[in-house]
Structure 1
Amino acid sequence: MNDRDELSLLVSRLGRWLDEKSPGDGRALFTEDAEVHTLGGVSKGVDALVEQARRNHQVPTQHFVTDPLVEVDGDQATIEANLLVVFVKDEGLRLLGERYELRAARTGDGWRLTRVQARPIWEVAGV
Structure 2
Amino acid sequence: MSTIDRVEIADLVSRLGRLLDDKRWEDAHTVFHPEVAIHSPRYGETTGFDEFLEVMRRTEQPDVLTQHATTGLLVDLDGDRAAVSANAVNHFYRAGEAPFRTASLRMDWVVVRTPAGWRVRETRTTVLWIREE
TM over 0.5, yes or no?
Answer: yes
2:84: which partner in 1?
Answer: 79
1 CA distance for matches of 2:114 and 2:130? 35
CA distance in 2, matches of 1:56, 1:69: 30
- More helix by percentage: 2
Taking the aligned partners of 1:94 and 1:55, their CA distance within structure 2 comes to: 21
Q: Taking every aligned residue pair, what percent have the same amino acid on both sides?
A: 36
Mean CA deviation greater in 94-103 or 25-34: 25-34
Return the structure number with greater strand share. 1
Give SS of 2:29's match.
Answer: coil
2:121 aligned with 1:114 = yes
1:10 is paired with a residue whose SS is: helix
Equivalents in 2 of 1:55, 1:27: separation in Å?
18
Looking at structure 2, the residues matched to 54 and 96 of structure 1 have their Cα atoms a distance apart, in angstroms, of: 21
Residue type at the aligned position of 2:14: S
The RMSD of aligned alpha carbons is 1.7
Q: Does 1:101 align with 2:108?
A: yes
Q: Count the aligned residue pairs.
A: 125
**Structure 2 vs 1, CA of residues 118 and 83 (structure 1 numbering), >3 Å: closer, same or farther?**
same
Which ranges in structure 1 are unaligned for 5 or more consecutive residues? none
> Residue type matched to 1:86 in 2?
H
Q: What does the per-residue CA deviation read over 1:14-39, in whole Å, with 9 as the maximum and x for residues that have no partner?
A: 00000001331511111111011112
- 1:31 pairs with 30, 33, 37, which one? 33
Provide, for residues 68-90 of structure 1, a one-character-per-residue CA deviation record: whole Å limited to 9, x for no partner.
10111000001100111111259
Aligned residue number for residue 54 of structure 1 = 57
Q: TM-score, normalised by structure 2?
A: 0.86
Mapped partners of 1:57, 1:116: distance in 2: 19
8 Å CA contact 1:65–1:83 kept in 2: the answer is yes
- Unmatched segments (≥5 aa) in structure 2: none
